[in-house]
């Protein structure tokens, strides 16, 4: 088992700056998920930890040993890729055993490790097959088995579920989390899928344009996003973001769409009229109360609930609701924004404003 420390890791490709000073501490046995939009630098960061990319500056430390300029083969890590990277001419057994043979382990030790990993992953009956005879999920399990047999200090996952269908992704997600907890191996998992991030990580690092936007537990990020980028990125459908201004001595917000809402948790600092962005998740928009009139555009029935996209005068973006049961029959809905569920951000910086603080 191992710890991982990153100190002010930066990466540039010529004049293009990809990573802008990443600091990170992973404790022994932790699963940390790096999540962000395409191009935010998450895979580059993972490759720097793996040694497949060289940091422009900064330090990578595994188990208190600096490995910034150490060859990947000497870092004691195992990586699971998006494309499986299996040898097509080798059997499942040989694919899993290949790295151990390169390291010069005995046949008996190789067989023991492969059999043990195959048992964990339900692959024992597939050991003689070639990759072309396997399903996508089975291939992914072989790739994971190849990583497990090495008994590394650190697991690195680079979007390993991207090529799987939706149902298989859910199954493999649970399988990866179960295995990681059982093995207790410190792990970094990169994904652009915020559902994967929420369900897999002990903590999440949300990257935005090469900078850490927030590092916290999944529920803390969901319940208290640090800024409007995180608020809009984490959660499906995305949080509604409404322009507003500070009124009543900082105790309330006047929304551009009309109503004044008194904050449930106390006032915010700032001058009267300070520009705000008010966030509310679709599931927290309430029907009734006559606060705002929302014209139904599209209703997406999902069985037990419906996602409703609406147009509101004074809002550039649509207001999205998540309501229980079938689609509402009305073409115009009266909606309100309960004060207890509001998120308050500075309109200029996008940074979250807590009660009593600017």
pLDDT digits (tens, 9 = 90+) for 42-100: 999 999 999 999 999 999 999 999 999 999 989 989 988 877 788 999 999 999 999 89
Can you read off the two tokens belonging to residue 160?
């390993």
pLDDT category, 276, cuts 50, 70, 90? very high
> Above 60 in pLDDT, residue 358?
no
Q: How far is it, in rounded angstroms, from Cα 80 to Cα 147?
A: 7
Q: Domain ranges in the chain?
A: 4-225, 237-346
pLDDT for 357 equals 55
pLDDT digits (tens, 9 = 90+) for 7-41: 999 999 999 999 999 999 999 999 999 999 888 99
Query: For residue 158, how many other CB atoms are within 10 A of its CB?
Result: 21
Alpha-helical regions (H) of the chain:
42-50, 92-102, 107-121, 136-148, 166-183, 194-200, 218-223, 228-233
pLDDT for 120 equals 85
What dotted CATH number matches 4-225? 3.40.50.300
> Above 80 in pLDDT, residue 290?
no
Asked if residues 45 and 9 have their Cβ atoms less than 8 Å apart, the reply is: yes
Q: How far is it, in rounded angstroms, from Cα 318 to Cα 295?
A: 10
pLDDT digits (tens, 9 = 90+) for 180-236: 888 889 999 999 888 899 999 999 999 999 999 999 999 999 999 999 999 999 988
Rg of the chain (C-alpha set)? 24
Query: For residue 89, how many other CB atoms are within 10 A of its CB?
Result: 10
């Amino acid at each position: 088992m191992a710890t991982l420390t990153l100190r002010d890791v930066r990466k540039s490709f010529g004049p293009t700056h990809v990573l802008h000073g990443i600091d990170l501490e992973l404790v022994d046995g932790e699963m940390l998920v790096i999540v962000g939009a395409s191009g935010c630098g998450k895979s580059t960061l993972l490759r720097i930890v793996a040694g497949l990319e060289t940091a422009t500056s900064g330090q990578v430390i595994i188990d208190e040993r600096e490995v910034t300029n150490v060859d990947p083969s000497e870092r004691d890590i195992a990586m699971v890729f998006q494309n499986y990277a299996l040898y097509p001419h080798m059997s499942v057994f040989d694919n899993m055993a290949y790295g151990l043979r390169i390291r010069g382990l005995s046949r008996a030790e190789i067989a023991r490790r492969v059999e043990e990993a195959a048992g964990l992953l339900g692959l024992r009956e597939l050991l003689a097959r070639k990759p072309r005879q396997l399903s996508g999920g089975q291939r992914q399990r072989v790739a994971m088995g190849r990583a497990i047999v090495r008994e590394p200090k650190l697991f690195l996952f680079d979007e390993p579920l991207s090529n799987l269908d939706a149902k298989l992704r859910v199954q493999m997600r649970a399988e990866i989390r179960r295995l990681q907890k059982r093995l207790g191996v410190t792990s970094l998992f990169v994904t652009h899928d915020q559902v994967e991030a929420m369900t897999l990580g002990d903590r999440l690092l949300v990257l935005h344009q090469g900078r850490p936007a927030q590092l916290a537990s999944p529920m803390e990020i969901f319940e208290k996003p640090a800024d409007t980028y995180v608020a809009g990125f984490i959660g499906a459908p995305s949080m509604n973001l409404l322009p507003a201004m500070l009124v009543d001595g900082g105790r309330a917000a006047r929304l551009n769409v009309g109503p004044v809402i008194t904050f449930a948790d106390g006032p915010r600092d700032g001058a009267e009229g300070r520009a705000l962005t008010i966030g509310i998740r679709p599931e927290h928009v309430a029907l009734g109360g006559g606060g705002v009139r929302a014209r139904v555009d599209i209703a997406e029935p999902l069985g037990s609930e419906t996602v409703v996209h609406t147009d509101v005068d004074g809002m550039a973006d649509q207001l999205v609701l998540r309501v229980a049961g079938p689609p509402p029959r009305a073409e115009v809905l009266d909606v309100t924004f309960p004060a207890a569920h509001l998120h308050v951000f500075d309109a200029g910086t996008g940074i979250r404003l807590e009660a009593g603080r600017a």
